[in-house]
Amino acid sequence: MSNAVCETGRAITAFAAYCALGSSRSLVKLAETYGKSTAYVRQLERWSSKSKWVERATAYDQEQAETKLSQQETARQDMDERHATIAVEQQEQAVNQIKALIEAKSFGSLASVQLLKFATDLERLARGLPTERVEQNVNATGVVAVYLPQKQLIEGLPRGGDSSVSSNDS
């Protein structure tokens, strides 16, 4: 047995308009967009209750949010690939410049070396890898708490994390 509810064309159109109102939607606001009175709100309430508009609008909002996240991820991946391609091209250019300087016995230009470093760092970042590794050794007694950031920074903490040491000897 199906749980589907048969809606009229007017109810379907009203539901689409309800969804389009976004997160601050309400039946009163929907009636206002149509220039209707509070009596029309009662009709909207009947349609909404019968066809589960609130649940369906929540599902619609979730779908829209997932679509947006997917589009953002695709754009980020495209950007990473573009950056990696640029980095590889610049690495080749830097290597060619360095070779030419070596052959000319005028390897005094720091710019080519810096370009190579920049291009390799850019490629590593575009491929999701770190440009450097940092090691920290702590020699302490008591409790050691270390903050290891994920992808997002937490407001109030320094970039790169925070580490703190507390000792029972104080």
Return all residues near 90 (Cβ < 8 A) that are at least 6 apart. 115, 118, 119, 122
Look at 162 and 78; give whichever has higher pLDDT: 78
pLDDT of residue 108: 59
Q: Where are the domains of the chain?
A: 9-51, 77-126, 140-170
Provide the residue type at 11 as one letter: A
pLDDT digits (tens, 9 = 90+) for 68-87: 999 999 999 999 899 989 98
The whole-angstrom separation of Cα 63 and Cα 120 is 39
In the predicted model, is pLDDT for residue 52 greater than 90? yes
pLDDT for position 162: 43
Q: What is the mean pLDDT of residues 100-118?
A: 75
Residues linked to residue 165 through DSSP beta bridges, in sequence order: 144
The set of residues, in sequence order, having a beta carbon less than 8 Å from that of 50 and lying 6+ positions away, is: 5
